[in-house]
Structure 1
Amino acid sequence: MPIRPSDLRSAIVAVVAIAVLAVGVLGRPLPTAAAVFDPETFTLENGLQVVVIPNRRVPVVSHMVWYKVGAADEPAGKSGIAHFLEHLMFKGTSNRAPGEFSRIVNRVGGSENAFTSFDYTGYYQNVARDQLGRMMELEADRMANLSISEADVAAEREVILEERRSRTDNDPRAQFGEQVTAATYLAYPYRIPVIGWENEMRGLTREDALRFYETWYAPNNAVLVVAGDVTAEEVRGLAESTYGRIPARAVPDRIARRGIEPPQLAARRLEMDSARVDQPSWSRRWLAPGVVWGETAQAAPLQVLAEILGGGTTSRLYRRLVVEQGLAVSSGAGYSPDGLGPQTFALYASPRDGVDLKRLEAAVEDEVARLLRDGVTEEELASAVTRMKRQAVFARDDMLAPARLFGEAMAAGGGIAEVEEWPERIGAVTAARIAEAAKTLFVPERSVTAVIRPKPAS
C-alpha cells in the first residue's frame, strides 16, 4: 500500500522524534554517550547495506528490505508505478508460484506487509528467529527473479484503482490534500501523489513495471535491516548465502534525475468547500530544509521549534488557541527533515463551532509574529528537548520501530551515525539557532495556505 512519510511516522510514533538525519559517512566511530540502539552494520560485496539491531527479549525477528526508490523517482507520465510494482512483487517469481511467498509466511505463523513512499519502497516480515533464513531466501528470490503475467497486471491494476477510489476519490480531505501538495511544489516530484493520478494509473503496463524493477531493484540499491533475537554474525552468514549471490548493477543517480525546486516568489492559497466535510480546517506550510536539501544545519532547530509550537497539549498553539482563547478544537505543527528533497513545515488548526476561520488564521499569525519578535524561552527549549529525548529512550523497547527508523534513514539519504548521535545534536540546539531558523522559514511570500470547510446548504 502507498504511504506518505507522515503515515509511516504515525505508525511508529515513539521513533518519530529521533528521525533527524543528516548525510554523512556510514559507520564512523560514535561517542559512547551518543548510542541509542547500538546497531551493527556491514556491506556485502555486491553493495547491499546490512543493519543488525539485536534485541534478545523474545525469540522473534523483523526482516526488512528497503529499496532506495519511491514515487518521486518515477518516469514522467507513469505516476503510481512504484506502488504498482510493490503490489506485483507479491505475485510469483521464476522459482515460486503466485502467492506462494505469502502462504509460506502465513504457514510459519509470521506476518508481512509492504509500503511505498516518495523516497523508498519497503518489504518486511515478522517471524520466529528460526525462520529468518527462509525469509531471506524468499526476499532474495523476488529481488532477482520476479515473474509477472499480463493477467497479474490487469488484475492488480484494478486493485490499485479501487484503492485510489476508496482512499482518495471518496474522501474530500484526501482529494484536497493532493491539491495542496501539488501547489506546494512547482517542479519537484513530491507534487505527484504516491498512488498516482488515475488517468496515468490506467495506462500502467507489464513492461512499465518490469522496466522499473530492472532499473532500481538491485542489491547495491537496497538496505537490509534485521532486528530482534539475532547476532550480526548470524545475519552476515545468511545474507551472504542468499542476497550475496545477486550481482550488483548500475542504478541511476536519482537526485540528479529529480531536478531542483524553483524558488517560490508569491504566496499561494487554496480553498475548497465540500458537502461531505463537517469540520472546517486551516493550515499553512512552508518549504523547509531536509537531510539533503537546503540548509541542513537548520533541521534540528526546526524540529525542536515544531515541538515547541505544536507538539501536543503543552505547545504554544494549543495553549493559546484551544485553552486560553477558545478559538480552536485542535491545533499543531508538523515537520520532519527526512527525505531527499525539500520538506515542509506546517501549522494547522480547526475552529470551534461559530468561530470564523479568518479570526483563527489571524490568531495563528499572531503567534508566529510573537515567536519572530520574542523567540523561545530557555524553559520551553529545555522542556521540548527533554520530551524528545525521552521518546528516543522509549523507542529502544520496540523491536520493529528501530528497524523502520534505520531503514527509512538509509533509504532516504541519512546514515547510521547520524541517527545514533541524534540526542547530542538535538541537545545542542539553542534559542538563538531556533530564532535564526524561524526567521529564514516564516516568509509570507513562501507560504501555502489551505482552507477546507463544509459547503453551505443551498
Structure 2
Amino acid sequence: MLAYLPARRLAAAGFLALTMSVAAPLMPAPIAAPPALAAEKGVFFPESFTLSNGMQVVVVPNHRVPVVTHMVWYKVGAADEERGQSGIAHFLEHLMFKGTEVIPPGEFSRIVAKNGGRDNAFTSYDYTAYYQNVARDRLEMVMRMEADRMANLKLTDAVVYPERDVIIEERRQRVENEPADRIGEQINATMFVHHPYGTPVIGWPQEMSTLTREMAESFYKTWYTPNNAILVVSGDITAAELKPLAERYYGAIPARPVPERKRVSEPPMSAARQVVLRDEEVRQPSVRRTWIAPSYRLDPNGHAYALQVLAEIMSGGTTSRLYRSLVVDQKVATSAWLGYGPTAWDMATLGVGASPAAGVPMDKLESALLAEIDKLLKSGVTEEEVATARKRMLAAAAYARDSLTGPAQTLGAALATGQSIDDVESWPVRIDAVTADQVNAAARAVLSQTNHVTGLLLPPTGKDS
C-alpha cells in the first residue's frame, strides 16, 4: 500500500505533471486542443489561503461528482535525511499509519476503506505526501484523522521494529529482485557522488537495519509541522467551504521552527562514467544515458520549458523522432525514449534510452541511439516540430483539468519543490512561447556535457541480444 519513489522517477506527479515533465514513450499523441486554448494562462484555476500557523491550503474545485482528493504534503524527503540514516523519511511514512491515542495502529486505512474511500502515501527525495480519495461528505472525517497524526503520532518499539522489517523486505522485493531498479539505483549513485540524490529513497540496506524509533521520532518532530506542510484538496468543494474545516483541524496545531533545507552541492566532474549490470533475471536488455539538467527552481539559463518541449519532440508518441527512427525505420529497438523531469528542489536529470529488437547487438543499438543525439546537436529541431509539440502539450494540459487527483498531485509537488501556484498556472503560456532556437540551445547545453553516466542492463555473458 505504501510507496517510495525509486531512483529519479518522476514521482507522484499526476497526469499533467507527467506531461509537463517527461514525454511518455510509445503512446499515441493526443488530439490537439482548439487554438484558442493555446495561449491562455491557467491550468487548474485553484483557490488558496494560508492558516495562521503558516500552513498553505490550496483548493481545486471540480463539481462533476461528489468526491474529493485530500492530500497533505510535507516539504521534506529522503534528500533531507542525516547522513547514516538513509531511508528514515520513507520509514516514517510507514510509521504514520501506526496510530495515535485516538486511532489505534492500522486503523487509519481501515476507517477510510469502511467509508468507501482509498488512501495511500509516498516518499520522494524532496517531499512526502499522504492522501485520501473519499466522498464529499467524508472529507471532514479524513481531515480530522490526518490532522491528528500530524500532531499526535504515537510510536512504540512494538510497532516500530516490526515495520522496519517490512521496509527491509520491501527493498528486497522492489529493488534487489528487480534488475531494472538495481541498475537505476547504481546509475543514480554514480551520477550523484556527493549530493543526497545519489542515495536511494528507500535507503541503503546496511543503514535501514540500524534505523531506530528515536530516529523516527526526531525526524517527525523536526519536519512534521503545519508550517512545513501544504494541504491540497481537489474535487467537489470550494475554498469558502473548506476554510472553516481547515482552521478547525489543522489551524489548531501550533507551528514549530523548521530547519532550513541544507543540501551539499555536487562537485564538478568531467569524466564520463559507465554502469554495467548483468543478471539472469534480465529479460529485456536496455541502454540508457543520463545527464544532470536544470530543474524549475535551479534554472539560471531558462532551459526548463524548452527541455520539456524537446522531450515531446524526441519521445512524445509513435511519431516522435526516437520511435520513428529506431523502432520504425531502422528496426533496431522495441522502445526508445528521452525523459526529463524538472520538478525537484535541486538539480534534475535528462536521460535517453532504448531496448533492442530481437537479434540486435547492444553495441549497434547504442550507436544508433547516440547517432540520434548527435544529429540533434548538429542539426537541431525545426520550428514545425516545436509548434506540433507545443500543441500536443497544451492539449494535454487542457485535458488534465478533468482529472480529480492529478491537480492535487501536480500542485502539491510543485509547491513542495519551490514553485508557486502562478508557476503552475502560467505553464501553458510559457510552453507556448518556446521557440526552436531555445530548444536547440537547451539541448546543446545539457547533451553536450561529458559528465554523463551510461547504464547497460544485460543478460549474462553469452546471452546478449
What range is the shorter-chain TM-score in? over 0.9
Residue 367 of structure 1 deviates from its aligned partner by 1.4
Residue 82 of structure 1 deviates from its aligned partner by 0.3
Equivalent position to 2:11, from 5, 8, 13: 8
- Greater displacement, 358-367 / 283-292: 358-367
Equivalent position to 2:388, from 367, 371, 383: 383
Equivalent position to 1:342, from 341, 347, 354: 347
Residue 183 of structure 1 deviates from its aligned partner by 0.3
| Partner deviation per Cα, 1:407-434 (whole Å, 9 max, x = no partner) | 1110122110011110110011101111
Q: Kindly provide the amino acid, as one letter, of the partner of residue 8 in structure 1.
A: A
Q: Kindly provide the amino acid, as one letter, of the partner of residue 225 in structure 2.
A: A
Query: Are residues 1:415 and 2:420 paired?
Result: yes
| Partner deviation per Cα, 1:87-139 (whole Å, 9 max, x = no partner) | 00001113322223223212211111111111100001111111111111111
TM-score, normalised with respect to structure 1: 0.94
| 8 A Cα contact 2:303 2:442, kept in partner | yes
Residue 443 of structure 1 deviates from its aligned partner by 2.2
Match of 2:247 in 1: 240
TM-score, normalised with respect to structure 2: 0.93
How many angstroms apart in 2 are the aligned matches of 1:264 and 1:295?
Answer: 19
Equivalent position to 2:139, from 132, 139, 145: 132
Match of 1:304 in 2: 309
Taking the TM superposition and a 5 Å limit, the aligned residue runs for 1:43-442 are 43-254=50-261, 257-295=262-300, 297-442=302-447
Query: Are residues 1:447 and 2:449 paired?
Result: no
How many angstroms apart in 1 are the aligned matches of 2:213 and 2:235?
Answer: 37
Q: Kindly provide the amino acid, as one letter, of the partner of residue 298 in structure 2.
A: W
Say what the alpha-carbon RMSD is for the aligned residues.
1.7
How many angstroms apart in 2 are the aligned matches of 1:104 and 1:447?
Answer: 48
Match of 2:19 in 1: 17
Matched position secondary structure for 1:8:
coil
How many angstroms apart in 2 are the aligned matches of 1:15 and 1:266?
Answer: 32
C-alpha change, 1:65 and 1:359, in structure 2 (3 Å) is same
Matched position secondary structure for 2:303:
helix
Residue 315 of structure 1 deviates from its aligned partner by 1.0
Matched position secondary structure for 2:458:
strand
| 8 A Cα contact 2:72 2:131, kept in partner | yes
Matched position secondary structure for 1:435:
helix
Matched position secondary structure for 2:429:
helix
Unaligned ranges ≥5, structure 2: 23-37
| Partner deviation per Cα, 1:216-259 (whole Å, 9 max, x = no partner) | 001000000011111101111000011001111111111xx211
Q: Kindly provide the amino acid, as one letter, of the partner of residue 336 in structure 1.
A: G
| 8 A Cα contact 1:267 1:444, kept in partner | no
C-alpha change, 1:244 and 1:141, in structure 2 (3 Å) is same
Which runs of at least 4 in structure 1 moved beyond 6 Å after TM superposition? Answer: none
Q: Kindly provide the amino acid, as one letter, of the partner of residue 384 in structure 2.
A: E
| 8 A Cα contact 1:19 1:405, kept in partner | no
Residue 294 of structure 1 deviates from its aligned partner by 4.1
| 8 A Cα contact 1:61 1:127, kept in partner | yes
| 8 A Cα contact 1:61 1:228, kept in partner | yes
Residue 6 of structure 1 deviates from its aligned partner by 2.7
Residue 142 of structure 1 deviates from its aligned partner by 0.5
| 8 A Cα contact 1:19 1:419, kept in partner | no
C-alpha change, 1:279 and 1:18, in structure 2 (3 Å) is closer
How many angstroms apart in 1 are the aligned matches of 2:244 and 2:123?
Answer: 29
| 8 A Cα contact 2:293 2:349, kept in partner | yes
| 8 A Cα contact 1:71 1:83, kept in partner | yes
| Partner deviation per Cα, 1:280-319 (whole Å, 9 max, x = no partner) | 1101110000012243610000111111112221111111
| 8 A Cα contact 1:61 1:230, kept in partner | yes
How many angstroms apart in 1 are the aligned matches of 2:242 and 2:174?
Answer: 38
Percent identity of equivalent pairs:
53
